[in-house]
Amino acid sequence: MRSADLLILLPAAWYQLAAFPFAALFHQLCASGQLSPTARYTLLLTGGCLLAVTAMGSYAALLLIPAAASVLVLLSASPAHVHTWVFGLQMCWQTLCHLGLGSLALESGDARPAVALSAIMLLTQKATYLALDVHEGTVLLQTGQGLLQQALPLSSYLLYFPALLGGPLLPFSSFRVQAESLGAVPLPLEAAGWRCLGALALQGLRVGLEGCLPRVQGCSILATLCHAWMRALLFRLAYYTQWVLDEALLEVAGFGLEEGQGDLSGRELWVLETTHRLAVFTRTWNRSTSRWLRRLVFQRCPAQPLLATFAFSAWWHGLRPGHVFGFLCWAVMVEADYRIHPFLSAWATSRVAKLLYRGTTWVFTQLIVAYVLDAVEAESLSALCLLWTSYKSILPLSYGVVLLLLLSRKAKQN
């Protein structure tokens, strides 16, 4: 795994674990009936601010400033233009933060800038999703109240502590309903406990595989490919662990997840590790972010929505050379996957052919995911050039060539 990912995931996981007692106490206070909705919003916001200062230090200001600015825009702009203003504000601020903090986090080894960047990216998700809700009329902001009374639920949603450093994206309507009715259900200690045990098992598996990683290093092509595949698997396991902890913290705080709102379930974990379709892996990976990208870009783009979605994802992640190449390569591979598999599945009619087809394409999917990870990891153009000229590029290049052949064939048929 690259150092930037470890800088974000490991400290974030510790801070999330430290927030569990506060989340349980908050749930118990709500269940006692002693907290009004205003007090609940205030506690959620205060906990988020305290967690931000604890985890990020002075860099927390880089999170609190755009959050406050987005609330002001949401309250002052018309529904017809609120999404444009919030989107522009968040993405411009986030881009400046990426330019200023991205290299600092890697060079200094300080986790705080990386954690701040991750929280700013999550803030962009929540702010733009809420702005789209207001723009489309699915969320009506409360009027006829004082400015502070109107701003408190919005600020709390953008900065509430259970989802500050990670967690699935909850719509504002779900957040508001659950925040105002917290305590109606018992504290889900058993469910949260099982999630924490699952996170512990995933972390133990990752540590065990990490110890085996040096043993598969070698100069042969097979050893190099196995090493790249194991590195990609370690990357996924670290994210699985973080997602499980994030969802457990939300549950302890009283925010239940509806079907499909979470980032990881047992079924989704199975799909991610066993699917032979890159497109299926892409749709399942980081489900809440995928839903956000689909709504924000894919469904609103009149031309080439797939390419536009991956291009925006590269921008959202930081727009370094590795991000641009990695996500655009991923887009081409997904498009090739959509066109190649109908052709191969029609050819694989016998049981042996189907087994060969599924096994081979599963290996190809795993290697392409590993290649994309290598590309996104590249911190400079020279590192990308080394990747381009390596034999790791043979498989993605082959997918690209097959895609061109299938497109030309379709053009001739038309």
Contact 153, 41 (CB under 8 A): yes
Q: Do both 41 and 157 map to the same domain?
A: yes
Same domain, 121 and 203: no
Give the active site residues. Answer: 286, 317
pTM reported for the whole predicted model = 0.90
User: SS3 of 346, please?
Assistant: helix
| pLDDT tens sequence for the chain (414 residues) | 444 454 455 667 778 888 888 888 888 888 877 788 899 999 999 999 999 999 999 999 999 999 999 999 999 999 999 999 999 999 999 999 998 887 666 666 678 888 999 999 999 999 999 999 999 988 887 666 777 888 999 999 999 999 999 888 999 999 998 888 876 566 677 777 888 888 889 888 888 888 776 666 656 777 788 888 888 898 899 889 889 888 889 888 888 777 666 667 778 889 999 999 999 999 999 899 999 999 999 999 888 999 999 999 999 998 888 899 999 999 999 999 999 988 888 888 888 988 999 999 999 999 999 999 989 888 778 888 888 888 888 889 998 898 888 888 777 776
63-97 in b/e form (b: 16+ CB < 10 A) is bbebbebbbebbeebebeebbebbbebbeebbeeb
Whether 281 and 140 share a structural domain = no
* Residue (of 89, 117, 84) closest to 323 by Cα position: 117
Crossing angle for the helix pair 321-347 and 351-377, nearest 10 degrees?
180
Do 12 and 167 meet the contact criterion of CB atoms below 8 Å apart? no
User: Last residue of a domain, which of 158, 181, 204?
Assistant: 181
Cα 160 to Cα 42: distance, rounded to the nearest angstrom: 9
State how many domains the chain has: 2
Are 152 and 268 part of one and the same domain? no
**Residue 213 structure tokens:** 């990683």
- Give CA–CA dist 263/169, Å, rounded: 9
Domain residues for the domain of 255 are: 189-412
Nearest alpha-carbon partner for 264 in 369, 168, 178, 174: 168
- Condensed to tens digits (0 to 9), the pLDDT of residues 156-209 reads 999 999 999 988 899 999 999 888 887 656 667 777 788 888 888 988 888 888
Contact between 67 and 123 under an 8 Å Cβ cutoff? The reply is yes
The answer on 124 and 267 residing in a single domain is no
221 and 320 belong to one structural domain: yes
What is the gyration radius of the CA atoms in the chain, in angstroms?
22
User: In terms of domains, do 249 and 379 share one?
Assistant: yes
Residues 260 and 177 in one domain: no
Per-residue pLDDT reduced to its tens digit, 208-219: 888 776 666 656
Q: Using CB atoms within 10 A of its CB, is residue 305 exposed (0-12), middle (13-18) or buried (19+)?
A: middle
- Conformation bin of residue 77: beta by default, left when phi > 0, alpha when psi is -120 to 50: beta
Residue tagged 């031309």 (tokens): 303
Q: Are 339 and 403 in contact (CB under 8 A)?
A: yes
